Amino acid sequence: MKEDFLIPSIGRTIRETVPRIGMATRFLAGSLTAPIRRDFSFRQWLRQVFGLGVLSLALMVVAAFFTGMVLGFQGYYALVRFGATSALGTLIALSLLRELGPVLTALLFAGRAGSALTAEIGSMKATEQLDAMEMMAVNPLAWVVAPRLWGGIFAVPILCVIFDLVGIFGGYLVSVPILGVDGGTFWAQMQANVSFHGDIVNGLIKAVCFGLVVTWIATWQGFSAHPTAEGVGSATTRSVVMASLTVLGLDFILTALLF
């Protein structure tokens, strides 16, 4: 009896999911290639980089500052047992640059800017604005989605750099003035042990990938939302949940590849 229910339901799920993945991939390809076509607007793209960045900036700065300070305390707690507090600067910088910076930036971006993107595009769909665009012979993928997608791809690494810098500053404030670690050692150890290619660039590669994935999910969820108030609401929730889980899963894969 159980097989009778299970096997058809697996089949149905696959039959529903595979075309959706196909459509989402076509959607991504159509939006990513928009800049090489005539109907892409670079002004719209710049506006989106600015808009998405500003939308999340205050959140990033506050979150980064506290993350850095917590890293200072926790790192000190671990290192002081081995008499290695001089490595605290390195620990904070590597944690932020390689891992926490890109991941937390992407998660916060998904919660703040990603949800706003889904709601915005979903509302445009519900109020027939995307249909109107199509009828005016303007491709919504090129005019609405592509600038936002490319905006996310550029905004997340920029936010990640800000997150890393503010985080390191927060870590410094706890380590040096509060916990009494030597300031010169803090910076010197960091400078000596952080590699530009191995750590900073790797972190930024992650941020670019996360920016793409989060914005893709957010725009696709908005674009494919059911055109009702309820549909837009559930698409927004789905966008944040899916983007957050995807970022964490992708982080593991990227870390394994870039390790």
Partner 1 sequence: MSTVDLVQIEGLHFARGSHAVLDGVSLRVPRGSIVSVMGASGGGKTTLLNLVAGRLHPDSGRVLVDRLDPATIARQDLYRLRQRMGMLFQHSALFTDLTVFENVAFPLRRHFRLPESLVRKLVLMKLEAVGLRGAAGLTPAELSGGMSRRVALARAVVMDPHLILYDEPFTGLDPISIGIIATLVRRLNDALGASSIVVSHDVHETFAIADYGYILAGGKIIAEGTPDELRASGSPLAQQFLSGRPDGPVPFHYPSAEGFAAAMGIHTGSRENQHP
> At its nearest, how many Å lie between partner 1 and the CB of residue 132?
4
String marking each residue 175-214 x if it binds partner 1 according to CB under 8 A: ----------------------------------------
Name all contacts of 197-200 with Cβ < 8 Å and 24+ positions apart.
Answer: 199/93, 199/94, 199/97, 199/98, 200/97
Binding status of residue 257 toward partner 1 by CB under 8 A: no
d(CA 24, CA 147): 17
Instruction: Figure out which of the listed residues 139, 185, 234, 255 binds partner 1, where binding follows CB under 8 A.
Output: 139
String marking each residue 17-56 x if it binds partner 1 according to CB under 8 A: ----------------------x-----------------
For partner 1, which is the closer residue by CB, 132 or 253? Answer: 132
d(CA 113, CA 152): 9
Binding status of residue 136 toward partner 1 by CB under 8 A: yes
Task: Pick the stretch among 14-22, 131-139, 164-172, 190-198 that binds partner 1 (CB under 8 A).
Answer: 131-139
Cβ proximity of 55 and 112 under 8 Å: yes
For partner 1, which is the closer residue by CB, 128 or 230? Answer: 128
Give backbone dihedrals phi and psi of 95, rounded to 5 degrees, phi first.
-60, -45
Residues 6+ apart with CB under 8 A from 86: 181, 182, 185, 186, 189
Cβ proximity of 150 and 40 under 8 Å: no
Name the residues that contact partner 1, by CB under 8 A: 39, 127-129, 131-132, 134-139, 143
